[in-house]
Amino acid sequence: MNDALDYIDALAKQARAESAPRVHVTGHVLARLSAPRRRIDTHMAVLAAASAAMAAITITLSIWSRLAPPDPLETMIEVSSLLGL
Amino acid sequence: MSQEFAHTPAGGAYAANVGAPGDRIDPVLAADRADIAASLLGDQDGYARLVSRYEAIIGTQMWRFTRDISTHEELVQEVFVEGYMSLAGFRGRAPFEHWIRRIATRVGYRFWRKESRERDRRQAMEQWRHTAKTAVVDRSPSQAAECLFQLLETLPPKDRLVLTLFYFEGWDMGEIADRVGWSRTLVKVRAHRARRKLRTLLEAEGFGSSGSTPDPIGELGQ
């Protein structure tokens, strides 16, 4: 056997005689089809949405507080307290 | 007493294509038609009969996509679950066997695409070297299948699919095109290229190249 493709053809000829393992899947298939569909509970959905909204607000406030300039009134009070006024 | 599934493949154009009541048809086809009609109405027993009628055929086909026993069973299950979900789209123009085998091909190909990585393909070549060395003389069908499986595993999924159906199932280019949903020309070109890749790969492993072998793809593809 000289040719590489001869080798593959010979392998294929032999391989076709192989029997596959026997399977009995009827029960499993029926069980999978009979299983109730997963549904997202309404309460869980509301809770998830509320949590996401809270997280978004927290992150926004955190970013805003870092970016915002110092409040002039707060600065005046701090300076006054430092000066003992 | 028949039971009903949680999911029912509603409606479907199947009833319009099943033929007149007086038509003489193959008993298996007749049984399939009756069971499909029952399944479409949500009858669990009808689909159970279809599954048990075709699980051996699909089992053999899915064994070409994996050599792992538990994955094999999962894939067979997946084929029938997907078959049930798509049953409303079954038009009855071709036998149920062709239709479910087309789904099986799709499920197998999807499985390969998910698991195929370049690293795995290189490993497959290593495995083939080992199997080919240990099974040189008097190979059993199982050893030959293992060897061929590993060799085809070295190819990208599309090439692998065409040659798996060609070598293992013995389908011609037209049948492969029909089952995979690609054009005949595309399948033929892909098969040629994939075989050339394999030849190059094997020649690098020391197989000679006489060039005298007629190309069965060329013959079957006519």
- Binned at pLDDT 50, 70 and 90, residue B27 comes out as confident
Q: What is the pLDDT of residue A78?
A: 76
Which among B48, B195, B208 has the least Cβ separation from residue A26? B48
List the CATH number of the domain containing B52: 1.10.1740.10
In a domain, B94, yes or no: yes
In a domain, B68, yes or no: yes
Taking the Cβ of residue B6 and every Cβ of chain A, the question of whether any pair is shorter than 8 Å is answered with: yes
Taking the Cβ of residue A43 and every Cβ of chain B, the question of whether any pair is shorter than 8 Å is answered with: no
Q: What is the pLDDT of residue B139?
A: 80
What residues make up the domain containing B62? Answer: 1-115
Q: How far from chain centre, in Å, is Cα B7?
A: 26
* Selected residues 10-49 of chain B with any CB under 8 Å from a CB in chain A: 44, 47-48
- B144 and A15 in contact (C-beta within 8 Å)? yes
A32 to B198: CB separation less than 8 angstroms, yes or no: no
- List the one residue out of B75, B213, B57, B67 whose CA is nearest residue B152: B67
* Closest CA of chain B from A13, distance in Å: 8
Worst-scoring range by mean pLDDT, A9-13, A47-51, B156-160, B199-203? A47-51
Which among A8, A30, A36 has the least Cβ separation from residue B198? A8
CA dihedral sign, ordered B110, A17, B48, B99: positive
Contacts of A15 in chain B (CB under 8 A): 141, 144-145, 147-149, 167-168
- Binned at pLDDT 50, 70 and 90, residue A39 comes out as low
Is the pTM of the predicted complex or chain greater than 0.90? no
Q: Count structural domains, chain A.
A: 1
Q: Which of B20-24, B53-57, B133-137, B216-220 has the highest mean pLDDT?
A: B53-57
Taking the Cβ of residue A30 and every Cβ of chain B, the question of whether any pair is shorter than 8 Å is answered with: yes
Q: Count structural domains, chain B.
A: 1
Residues in Cβ contact with A35 at an 8 Å cutoff, skipping those fewer than 6 apart:
B6
Average pLDDT of chain B is 84
List Cβ<8 Å contacts ≥24 apart for B193-199.
Answer: B193/B159, B194/B155, B194/B159, B194/B160, B194/B162, B194/B163, B195/A5, B195/A8, B195/B163, B197/B155, B197/B159, B198/A4, B198/A5, B198/A8, B198/B151, B198/B152, B198/B154, B198/B155, B198/B163, B199/A4, B199/A5
Cβ-count burial A65-75 (b if 16+ within 10 Å, e if not): eeeeeeeeeee
Taking the Cβ of residue A18 and every Cβ of chain B, the question of whether any pair is shorter than 8 Å is answered with: yes
Q: What is the pLDDT of residue A70?
A: 66
3-state SS assignment for residue B172: coil
In a domain, B209, yes or no: no
What residues make up the domain containing A8? Answer: 4-83
Q: Work out the end-to-end distance of chain A between its first and last CA atoms, rounded to an integer number of angstroms.
A: 104
- If you count residue pairs, one on A and one on B, with CB atoms under 8 Å apart, how many are there? 133
